[in-house]
Every structure is written in structure tokens, then in C-alpha cells.
Amino acid sequence: MIVSKVVRGAVGVAVLLVVAEIAGRTGLMDTQIMPLASTVLAGAAGLAVDSEFLHDASATVEVWAEGLLVATLLAVPAGVLLGSLPKVEIGLRPLIEFLRPIPSIALIPLVTLIAAGDGAMKVTIVVYAACWPVLVNTMYGLHDVDPVARDTMRAFGFGRLAVLLRVALPSAAPFVLTGVRLAASVALVVAISAELLSGGAGGIGVYIIKAGSGYRIDLMLAATVWAGLIGLVVNALLVRAERGLFRWHAARAGVAQ
Amino acid sequence: MTNTAVRGVRWAGRARGLAVRLWTVPVVVAVWEVAARAVESVYFPPPSAILARLRELWFSGPPARLFLSDAAIADFVPSLGHLFGGWALACLGGIALGVAIGRSRTLAGYVDPLIEFGRAIPPPTLIPLFIVLFKADTRMQLATIVYGVIWPVLVNSVDGARYVDRLHIETARVFGLSRAERLVMVILPAAAPKIFAGLRLSLSLALILMVVAELVGSATSGIGYELIYTQQNFDLPGMWGTIAVLGVLGFLLNSSFLVVERRTLSWHRRAGRKG
Amino acid sequence: MLDVVNLTHTYGSGPDAHRALGGIDLKVSEGELVCVVGPSGCGKSTLLRSIAGLVRPTGGEVRVKGRPVSGTPDDLAVVFQDYSRSLFPWLSVRDNVALPLRRRGLDRAARRAAAAEALAAVSLESAAAKYPWQLSGGMQQRVAIARALAYRPSLLLMDEPFGSVDAQTREDLEDLVLAVRGHHRMTIVLITHDIDESVYVGDRVVVLTRAPAVVAADLRVDLPGPRDQIATRELPAFVHLRAEVSRLVRGRPEFGPEEFNTVPPHTTTSPLVKTPSHLTKE
Ligand SMILES: Nc1ncnc2c1ncn2[C@@H]1O[C@H](COP(=O)(O)OP(=O)(O)OP(=O)(O)O)[C@@H](O)[C@H]1O
Ligand SMILES: [Mg+2]
């Protein structure tokens, strides 16, 4: 069953690559515009040892990780605060509802003017985008605390803070991690978009622009492949972390979008 | 109590509820206004200046046109056209493909890794490629939006169609419903709650990608274009105003979609509440 | 009408394999109403699902009107044991009943009229505009019955169709099935836990053994018709037959078909009982 799944998946990928290759070789697809699949794959393999690209990729990962970290450090406490103080939450909800849909990319022109330096601008944008999933999921997790467990603690004479630390936070933790996972993929998208838009010292987006201006479409696609792989790996790691840390949780909850 | 009195009480209640929920908005705006006037920074204009600039920019038209100026029409029409056009294409494609994949384990086996990889690629990385492929602006914009927003629709449709209750399908088969009838009368309604969740997510993504495509593709009109234009002219009230318009737009899109979703899926919500 | 020949079915494979049907033979002629009884978990639903073409049996054959079943046979209706899951929550009760009627080439108005008539027959005319999840379990079960009856199939399969309704309603529904059968000459296979019921509505009662199920006995019910809830149940023949079936169903836990003809002597002496041929040879 599992073997056949893997086999089918491999066949699917292979068929796509072969079809693209044949389309290019028979002239169905203009290789000037859309390079051969083999060229792109070879390019991607070459990028793995290309020091310039590695430098760019690490710049992207750095912005991504920094932004995600700051966003988590900001949004988790804020979410805990809002989630445990319903009155404050009701008051701030309209602001959140208004701020959340603002595409963080739209802030780039503004933040470029305000922020000190290109790196700070990118991190700021990433933080803004990554905050929301973490915040919303943390709040959701705190609402979802089992009232029986909470009341039991209260009945045994534990104070508000003790209940928060011992019941609310542990049971909200899986939601927080889900928020971080969603934020991680948003953050990667935003980091690369910022690079595409404003250039800067380095980054996968910068590399793609450079490749584009040299009409090296094969390299553009090869870099895109790496961007996808990075996204896949990050997501897979965080999914694993979720499963490993919170096995008890999967049985219980549906996750907020 | 008379009918009007009841209605009056209900309205008063609603108004109070609204006041409880929205009191922070005027407070925040007022604080911002005072602080911005005190600081006098070019970068942080007071809300009044932003509103005045917005009015001048987009909302100085005749009342018959909802006060939209010519500039507003020139910006909003292409932007919203791309947004809705791309979203609609992605919805159609995503639902059709997703239901097909969800109903066939074999097909799912073949394409699962491709989907996983495809959705992991940050869509903006493809914009430079789309620019090379389709020089024309509109096609590039549509391609970016479609590629970016199809994944939530696709993945949710797969999920929804895959987990249709087996007994529902069997009932339809036993009573001789044709394949098409099964699809329309059974599979799509059963998958609808999931599909709608995907559609809503992708609508908010569409707004983001619309802006990205306009910014990266250096559009010559549209909301994103206005963003760059105001930046180049160091028109900070205009930039803040444009950003605010985007926020309002996102809020409106999401709320109106929720209204439609609630209507369409009322059976689902109410059935769930009972169970 | 319906021929089941040496039907076997095994769920799963390897160590987890569960043999549910161990070679079932059953013949139902047109217009007959056959009740199937047997211990819980013996494979009754599996048998019914094989007849409906929803389970592909691992051995043997099912023929409907002489043709082997592959996929679901035409002109068939089923009342599933899990009735609530077989109603569509996004359709009103009326639309649930009317949906299959598309197949009958009726226009919208005619479908609605037929649905209304069927709902009235199960006394649910007032619930037509409601949704299934707004109804109680017993009401949902009646909707499922109404849907099947409105369809007027030539073959109707019912899996414990009266399980969730009160005794009075149950009797009404039993009579409804008998009446509809009489009018429209349906062939019906009805699975039930209730031995009284099997004897009351059935032309024949087929008793299955524990899993792997085989036919333990196939009894003809020769009660004078038309049946009446009170008078029929008082008949000595009814009481006798009910006791027969009861004994057969209880059986001994390891009751197998081979020992069958030797154990309960009354089975073979009873004039009402026709022991199937494969049990009497040897
Ligand atoms: N999909 C399945 N996979 C594996 N085993 C199954 C499956 N469906 C049924 N079984 C097993 O087959 C046996 C017969 O099941 P079936 O539903 O036919 O019994 P039944 O006679 O209808 O029982 P009841 O009277 O309780 O409805 C049971 O032991 C059950 O556990
Ligand atoms: Mg059963």
C-alpha cells in the first residue's frame, strides 16, 4: 500500500519531467523561453554547490528565521494576553480584523522609507506577516481550554496565574505550534517577495532577478525549485514537531485556519 | 409591548453591542491623531491628513458614482478585475481538479508529490518567469494570482471530496443516480464545507498576490501602482491611505464571503450545532 | 427474481481476515417477502450489501432477474441499517425522498407529489420542509422508508428498517410494507432482529447461523392472509412458528450447518417447516 503510493508518486513526477523534456526537444515548447526539464534539474544541482547561490539562500533563510522568531516572541504573549482577557480581546478585535488583511507586501514601499536599512525592512515585513497566524491560533488555543480542567484547578484553590500556567498554556501549545507552522510558510513567501521587490545585498529573490536580467530562465527555475524545497523541508519539520510533541492532541482537536 | 417597541429595544441592544465592540476604534484614531500632531514626523502623518489625501486621490468624484474619482476607477477596475478574474479561474480549476483527485486514490497517488511541491513554491518567485512568458501585463497578473491561490482550493477540495461519507455515495448508487447526478447532488454538497474554507482562504491570498504582482511587475495602473507612485513622490499620506484602502478591501472581501458562505452552508452549520 | 448461490465473503486478508459469509444459498421469487434473521454480527448486512452490489463478494454469485450482479442492479431500493447517515443533510426531507425519483422520468411537480404521498404514508407530511438532522432517529428512519417506498422498486432491500421506532409505529410500518407490497408487487428482502416481526410480515423466514453465516433454516410461513396485527399474532400457528424461529436463532453458539438436522428434531417434524435440501441429505 505504502510502497505503491511511493511508486505512484515517483511515476507522477517522472511523467511530468519526461513530458516537459519531450515537449522541449520536439520543439512543441520553445526552449528559449521554457528550458528543458533536464537543463533546469542540472541547474538546480549546480546551484547546490554554487557559492553565490548558497550565499543568497542563506541570506533568505536568515531573514526568514529572524522574522519568524521575532513574530513568535511578540505574538505568543500577545495572544495569551488577549486570549485570557476577553474584555481586552473584544476591544481590540476590530483593529485586528482591520490590520490582518492588509497585505504585508503593501507595506514594503512605506517601510523602505522608514526602516533603517534593507535588512531591517525585510525583517519588519516578515514579522508583520508572520504575527497574525501565531496570534490568532494562540488566542484560539486559549479559548479551547477544557473548562472542566480549568474549573477543577480553580476548585482546588489555584489562582488565575497558576491555572494559566498549568492548564491553559499546555493545552494551547499545539495550537501555537500550528500557528508557527502556518506563519513559517507565509514568512518564506514574504521574505522572497521583499527581495524580489527591493533587491538588497542578497537572497533567493535577488538571485532570481539577476538570473532574469541575464535571460537565464533555467537558473530562475532552478532557484525556484530550491525555494520550493526549502518550503517543503520547513513544513515537514514543523509537522513532525507537532506530531512528536503533541501526540495526545491530534485525537482531540480540529485546527483553526 | 408593541411591535415597534420590541424592535426599538432590539436596535438599542444591537447599538450597545456595537459600541462595546467598536469603542477602541475612535480611541485609537484619536490617540494617533494627537500623537502624530505632536511628533510632526513626515513618516507618520495624522489620520486627518491621510483621509484628506485619500479623498483627493480617489474619493472626490460625483455622488452618483459613489464619490469615486476617475483615478479611483482607473486604479480599482484593473486591480479588482485581476483579483476576481484570477480567483474565479483558480476556484474553477481547483475545484474541478481537486474533486477528481479526491475521488480517485490512483490519481491522487500519482499527483500528490507534485501538489506538495507546487504549493511549497512561494508564488512570487514565479513572477519573473511569468513576466518573461507573458509580456502582457494582465496575463502575468492573472497567472500569478491563479498560481498563488489555487492551492488552498485544490487541497481543500481533495480533502472534501475524499471524505464523503461512504453511505452517501452508496445510497446514490443504489437509487440509480447517474455519475453526473452523484457529482452534483451528493459529492459537491458533501465537500462544500471544506471547499468553502479553501475559497475563503484563497480570496484573501488573491488580494496579497494582486498587490505583489502589481509591485513586482511594475504595473502602470492599479492599487499597487499607486503605492509605488506615492512612494516615488514621497507622498506619505497617500501611501498610508492606499494601505488603509487595502485593509478595508480585505475586510470587505472576507466579510462578504462569510455572508455568502453562511447562507450556502446553513444546513452544515445548523446540523453541526445539533450533533 | 433473486438467486444467491453459495455466496461467501471474507473481510480483509491474512491474520485479520474475517469470514462473514460461509456459503449462502437463497432463492426469492417475484413478489415474495423474505425475512432474514440471525444473531448480531453474523453477516446479515453483508449479505444485503452483496445483493445490492455494494460489496463484491469473495465467492459465489448473486443473480437478479437471472443476470449476475456486477455493480448495483437496476430498479433497486435499499433502506440501510444506518439510516441517518444515508439521508443527505443538505437536502430537506422532501428533497431527500424526491431525489431518486429523477430516475423515474418524473418532472419536478410529479416528484414532489410522489414524495408528499410517501411521507404521508409514514405520517411525516408535516416534516416535509425540515432537514433530516432536525428529526428524531425514528422519524429519520421513516424518511428512509418513505424514500424507498416512493421509488417503487421491483426489488426492495431493508436492513432492520423498524429498529428505532415505538411499538405502535412499528406495527403501522409493518402493515404499510405489506400493503405496498400487495399493490405494487415488489420483491422484498427484510432483515430484522425481531422474530415476531419476521413471522408476521414474511412469506418465508430465513435463519442464518453465526459467522461465517450459512442458512440454518428456511421456513415457509403459511399463515392465512390478510394479516392482522392482533388476530394473526394470536393464531396457534403463529405462536408455534415464532417459537421455532426463536430456537433456531438461539441455537448453540457453535451451531454449524452439518449438525443442524440432527439436533432439533421438532424442526423437521413441524408441518410448517421445510428444511432446506442441503441440510437433509447425508
Ligand atoms: N467493512 C468491514 N470490514 C471488516 N469487517 C467487517 C466489515 N463490515 C462488517 N464486518 C464484520 O463482518 C461481520 C458481519 O457484519 P454485518 O454487518 O454483516 O453483521 P450483521 O449481521 O448485519 O450484524 P447486526 O445485526 O449487528 O447489524 C461482523 O463481524 C463485522 O465485524
Ligand atoms: Mg447489520
Q: Are C177 and C188 in contact (CB under 8 A)?
A: yes
DSSP state of B185: I
A197 interfacial to chain B (CB closer than 8 Å): yes
Segment A2-12 shows an average pLDDT of 83
Size of interface A-B (CB pairs under 8 A): 159
| Closest alpha carbon within chain C to B178 | C103
Q: Which domain holds residue B22?
A: 3-40
Same domain for B163 and B86, yes or no, is: yes
C78 interfacial to chain B (CB closer than 8 Å): yes
Confirm whether A241 is domain-assigned. yes
Residues of chain B neighbouring C77 (CB-CB closer than 8 A): 174-175
B254: Cβ–Cβ under 8 A, 6 or more apart, which residues? A101, B200, B203, B204
Report the predicted TM-score, pTM, of the whole model to 2 decimal places: 0.85
Quote the ligand 1 centre to C37 CA distance (angstroms).
14
Confirm whether A18 is domain-assigned. no
Does the pLDDT value for residue C263 go beyond 60? no
Same domain for B112 and B212, yes or no, is: yes
- From the list C74, C100, C131, the residue facing B267 with the nearest CB is C131
Confirm whether B255 is domain-assigned. yes
Q: Which atom of ligand 1 is nearest to the CA of C43?
A: 18
Same domain for B107 and B149, yes or no, is: yes
Q: What is the CATH number of the domain that holds B249?
A: 1.10.3720.10
Confirm whether B45 is domain-assigned. no
**Chain segment C71-107, per-residue pLDDT in tens:** 888 889 999 999 888 999 999 999 999 999 988 888 9
Domains and CATH numbers, chain C: 2-75+155-280 (3.40.50.300), 86-152 (no CATH)
With cut-offs at 50, 70 and 90, classify the pLDDT of residue A256. very low
* Percent of chain C topping pLDDT 90: 60
Q: Are C272 and C241 in contact (CB under 8 A)?
A: yes
Segment B16-33 shows an average pLDDT of 83
**Chain segment B120-140, per-residue pLDDT in tens:** 999 988 988 888 888 767 899
Give dist(CA C75, CA C152) in Å, integer.
8
Confirm whether A214 is domain-assigned. yes
Whole-number mean pLDDT of chain A?
85
The SS3 of residue B23 is: coil
| Cα A67-A161-A176 angle, rounded to 5 deg | 30
Element containing residue B103 per DSSP (H, E): helix B70-103
Q: Give the per-residue pLDDT at C2.
A: 93
Whole-number mean pLDDT of chain B?
89
**Chain segment B222-274, per-residue pLDDT in tens:** 899 899 899 889 999 999 999 999 999 998 999 999 999 999 888 888 877 64
Q: Which amino acid is at C55?
A: V
**Chain segment A92-137, per-residue pLDDT in tens:** 888 888 888 888 889 998 898 888 888 899 999 999 999 999 999 9
Confirm whether B46 is domain-assigned. no
Q: Give the per-residue pLDDT at C261.
A: 38
Q: Give the per-residue pLDDT at A1.
A: 57
Same domain for B178 and B112, yes or no, is: yes
Segment C29-39 shows an average pLDDT of 93
Confirm whether A87 is domain-assigned. yes
C84 interfacial to chain B (CB closer than 8 Å): no
Say how many C-beta atoms besides its own lie within 10 A of residue B227's C-beta: 26
Taking alpha carbons only, the member of C56, C80, C77 closest to residue C68 is C56
With cut-offs at 50, 70 and 90, classify the pLDDT of residue C34. very high
Give dist(CA B206, CA A133) in Å, integer.
17
Give dist(CA C214, CA C210) in Å, integer.
8
Confirm whether B138 is domain-assigned. yes
Q: Are A137 and A82 in contact (CB under 8 A)?
A: no
Does the pLDDT value for residue A251 go beyond 50? no
Q: Give the per-residue pLDDT at B240.
A: 93
3-class secondary structure for C73-102?
CCCEEEECCCHHHHCCCCCCHHHHHHHHHH
Q: Give the per-residue pLDDT at B93.
A: 97
Confirm whether B158 is domain-assigned. yes
Ligand 1 and C50: CB distance under 6 A? no
Same domain for B98 and B219, yes or no, is: yes
Ligand 1 and C46: CB distance under 6 A? yes
B263 interfacial to chain C (CB closer than 8 Å): no
Q: What domain count does chain B have?
A: 2
**Chain segment B175-187, per-residue pLDDT in tens:** 999 999 999 999 9
Does the pLDDT value for residue A176 go beyond 50? yes
Segment C51-56 shows an average pLDDT of 92
With cut-offs at 50, 70 and 90, classify the pLDDT of residue A140. confident
Do B124 and A192 lie within an 8 Å CB cutoff?
yes
Beta bridge partners of C5: C61
B268 interfacial to chain C (CB closer than 8 Å): yes
Ligand 1 and C89: CB distance under 6 A? no
Same domain for B174 and B226, yes or no, is: yes
Confirm whether A7 is domain-assigned. no
Confirm whether B233 is domain-assigned. yes
Ligand 1 and C45: CB distance under 6 A? yes
Q: What domain count does chain A have?
A: 1
- From the list B165, B173, B177, the residue facing C85 with the nearest CB is B165
3-class secondary structure for C138-198?
HHHHHHHHHHHHHHCCCEEEEECCCCCCCHHHHHHHHHHHHHHHHHHCCEEEEECCCHHHH
Give dist(CA A17, CA A30) in Å, integer.
16
With cut-offs at 50, 70 and 90, classify the pLDDT of residue A254. very low
Closest ligand to Cα C46: 1
Quote the ligand 2 centre to A73 CA distance (angstroms).
55
| Closest alpha carbon within chain B to A17 | B114
Q: Give the per-residue pLDDT at C15.
A: 86
Q: Give the per-residue pLDDT at B249.
A: 92
Q: How far is CA A131 from CA A22, A75, A77, B247, C173, in A?
A: 45, 6, 11, 16, 60
Same domain for B97 and B138, yes or no, is: yes
Same domain for B7 and B75, yes or no, is: no
Confirm whether A40 is domain-assigned. no
DSSP state of C43: S
Does the pLDDT value for residue C159 go beyond 70? yes
Residues of chain B neighbouring A232 (CB-CB closer than 8 A): 116-117, 120
Say how many C-beta atoms besides its own lie within 10 A of residue B63's C-beta: 6
Q: Higher confidence at residue B20 or residue C137?
A: C137
With cut-offs at 50, 70 and 90, classify the pLDDT of residue B3. low
End-to-end CA distance of chain B: 36
Q: Give the per-residue pLDDT at C187.
A: 94
Q: Are A38 and A95 in contact (CB under 8 A)?
A: no
Confirm whether A185 is domain-assigned. yes
Do C90 and B267 lie within an 8 Å CB cutoff?
yes
Give dist(CA C190, CA C202) in Å, integer.
8
Residues of chain B neighbouring A16 (CB-CB closer than 8 A): 114
Taking alpha carbons only, the member of A104, A190, A201, A96 closest to residue A138 is A96
State the virtual CA torsion across B28, B34, B38, B41 in degrees, nearest 10. Answer: 50
Give dist(CA B269, CA B204) in Å, integer.
22
Q: Are C23 and C7 in contact (CB under 8 A)?
A: yes
Q: What is the CATH number of the domain that holds A204?
A: 1.10.3720.10
Q: Which domain holds residue A119?
A: 50-247
Confirm whether A10 is domain-assigned. no
Does the pLDDT value for residue B174 go beyond 80? yes
Segment C227-255 shows an average pLDDT of 82
Same domain for B10 and B97, yes or no, is: no
Segment B2-10 shows an average pLDDT of 69
